[in-house]
Structure 1
Amino acid sequence: MKILALEFSSRMRSVAAVKAGPGEQPAAVATGSDLGSRGTRAFQLITTVLKEAAWERDDVDTIAVGLGPGSYHGVRVAIAIAQGWSVAKKVRLIGVSSADALAAMLVLKGQQAPFIVVIDAQRGEFYRADYTVESGVAREVCALRLAKTAEIHDCLNSGKNVFGPDSADRLPGIREAFPTAATVGFLAAKMPTETSGASLEPIYLREPAFVKAPPPRFA
């Protein structure tokens, strides 16, 4: 299985070419901090990764997408690329939680103690998921949920291991870390089922809120 993985949920966007198999390493990884106003930077990252991996576009049989939570724009760009690719090339699509990808990356880098992943949810809240480490694998022990900023401060003040992207200015003491396309690809390789293109949606725990505009007033 040759997987093209896209992780655009934080400011550190990345693309990886991952060949599934025991002990496999990503064939190539490219990282950027800006997708551009129309996502053009994303295609530059993809082109770079395919070239470095010596893959043709037709070699890709699976596209894995980090579904967030995180940057709504970034995740939407990744989903749009995956959906368009699947129409043109009939590849498998697999969606992966970006929080799980971040947790997996931390364990690969040596994290052994229980930890918390937090991702900015705006409006004074954060997405929070709690993990423990069992046999070298991150296990979610408290499902992803919304938490108030004060709750995350309490976790930091009590000495808990708290990691997350793009939040150092609002959460002093957080250990900054970013989900990576490589771990999105590795997690996707272990998933038995694919996701239909129409079912790929950003992970977003809030109910949509709309404010109805008042009717126009005519003099």
Structure 2
Amino acid sequence: MNELKILALDTATEACSAALLVGERVYARWEEAPRDHTKKILPMVQAVLDEAGIALSDLDAIAFGRGPGSFTGVRIGVGVAQGLAFGAGVPLLGISTLAAMAQGAHRQEGATRVISAIDARMGEIYVGRYLLQDGIMVLDGEEQVTAPEAVAQQPTLSGLWFSAGTGFETYADGLSALADEQKPCPAARLPAALDMLPLARAAWLAGAAVTPEQATPVYLRDKVTWKKLPGRE
């Protein structure tokens, strides 16, 4: 049986990363580079491919950080992934950046329950809750863009929950008591393509791959971009 080969890349936040799964072997690059995604992502992709000794055409699929995150960052990631997928003739797998951070908290801290929150600017956060199922972080409820105070007013979660993401840095006071016991995971403050790989493998096995033209970003805050256009509400 051929080894599963999945390339993952993410530019949705301040971090820029690429990772490659070849069977059980993993190759990864990660850097916090807020304004250099377009310069760094393709060299990172080439670096992991070279390290593994394979070509784009050898891949089974390409996973990308579909968002939420910065509009520009998400668009860069989707565009690069589509271009690579068209060139290699392989399908795409969109992976949530919030889920990737939750998976990172599991990898770094052994977390089984995680609240992921990204600073969405404009006094809001992107937030989601995740529970570990068979080694994979699965969304509990839905991902939202909302004010931190709205999250803080929700019923207190029981037990121990890990917190991951820049939302907990920006709104530390307001988000400090979401659960009976809350433990920060600084190592998962930003998503990493490395942590997208287990999620991508599960998505691949579930038949969730799509053609490049079907790949779509997840902004959660679509209305903001529409309102910038005359006559759009």
Q: What corresponds to 1:197 in structure 2?
A: 212
TM-score normalized by structure 2? 0.77
Local SS of the residue matching 1:80: helix
Cα RMSD (Å): 2.8
Of the two, which has the highest radius of gyration? 1
Q: 1:129 to 1:38 in 2, by over 3 A?
A: closer
Shift of 1:116: 0.9
Shift of 1:170: 4.1
Shift of 1:36: 5.1
Query: Residues 15 and 34 of structure 2 are in contact (CA less than 8 Å); yes or no, is this contact kept in structure 1?
Result: no
Shift of 1:207: 3.7
Q: What corresponds to 2:191 in structure 1?
A: 179
Identity between Structure 1 and Structure 2 (%):
25
Local SS of the residue matching 2:221: coil
Query: Residues 11 and 166 of structure 1 are in contact (CA less than 8 Å); yes or no, is this contact kept in structure 2?
Result: no
- Map of 1:84-123 to 2, 5 A cutoff? 84-112=83-111, 114-123=113-122
Ranges in structure 2 where 5+ consecutive residues have no aligned partner: 177-183
Letter in structure 2 aligned against 1:140? L
Runs ≥4 in structure 1, deviation > 6 angstroms?
none
- Map of 1:54-69 to 2, 5 A cutoff? 54-69=53-68
Distance (Å, rounded) in 2 between the aligned partners of 1:38 and 1:129? 25
Shift of 1:212: 5.3
Q: 1:160 to 1:31 in 2, by over 3 A?
A: closer
Q: Number of matched residues?
A: 209
Q: What corresponds to 1:2 in structure 2?
A: 5
Distance (Å, rounded) in 2 between the aligned partners of 1:35 and 1:200? 24
Local SS of the residue matching 2:120: strand
Q: What corresponds to 1:217 in structure 2?
A: none
Query: Residues 32 and 45 of structure 1 are in contact (CA less than 8 Å); yes or no, is this contact kept in structure 2?
Result: no
Local SS of the residue matching 2:109: coil
Letter in structure 2 aligned against 1:3? I
2:33 aligned with 1:18, yes or no? no
Q: What corresponds to 2:179 in structure 1?
A: none
Ranges in structure 1 where 5+ consecutive residues have no aligned partner: 215-219
Q: 1:211 to 1:43 in 2, by over 3 A?
A: closer
**Which structure has greater helix proportion?**
2
Q: What corresponds to 1:143 in structure 2?
A: 142
Query: Residues 10 and 165 of structure 1 are in contact (CA less than 8 Å); yes or no, is this contact kept in structure 2?
Result: no
Letter in structure 1 aligned against 2:211? S
